[in-house]
Amino acid sequence: MSQSIQAIIAERRSIKKFNGRSVSQSDIVEILDVASWAPNHGNREPWRFIVAAENGLDAIRNTMKECTIPNWGQLPEEEIEKKTAGFKLPGAFVFVVVPEDVRQKERLEDFSAASALIQNAQLLAWGKGIGTCWKTPAWMELPKFRQALDVKPGERILAMLQFGYYDELPKAKARTPIEQKITYFG
């Protein structure tokens, strides 16, 4: 990684327009391997991943279409194309699955740890020239989709991470000056 971590944090953007180029499964595994060093209470490592890259791309795209678009088989082709456009261009998908611990404290710790892992993955991907977008579409919780991904009761799909290459870098959105977000105690 030739860029500083500070530069990667400041420059990373969520990519929503991918160019369709596939991301290698080995790059995804390498990113997740390093990202898994995220802090997690008790070293519980409260995550697992469903990765669709290379040969798995067509299968996950078909699964998303069949599970998320009601009556898709009866819709006109142009409407199906419009509804599935976002599925076609990412070069890989990673679904992050976490346990839903019945204890509130542990559940929050697990969600927080997995969120740190997701941020790590996005930063690592950016350092490799791979864009990402963290998505949480409501259809991830549909029983048919959960079953297709073999998500068990007591588990939750926390995120759908899209990985891919891009041709245009989105403009940075303005951030609130940090001084406006700080309250000094004492």
Phi, psi for residue 51 in degrees, rounded to 5: -110, 130
Burial label, 54 (beta-carbon count in 10 A; 0-12, 13-18, 19+): middle
Known binding residue 173? Answer is: no
Phi, psi for residue 48 in degrees, rounded to 5: -145, 165
Known binding residue 61? Answer is: no
Known binding residue 21? Answer is: no
Known binding residue 48? Answer is: no
Burial label, 65 (beta-carbon count in 10 A; 0-12, 13-18, 19+): middle
Known binding residue 134? Answer is: yes
Dist CA 148 CA 60 (whole Å): 9
Q: Which residues are annotated as a binding site?
A: 12-14, 41, 134-136
Q: Which residues are annotated as a binding site for FMN?
A: 12-14, 41, 134-136
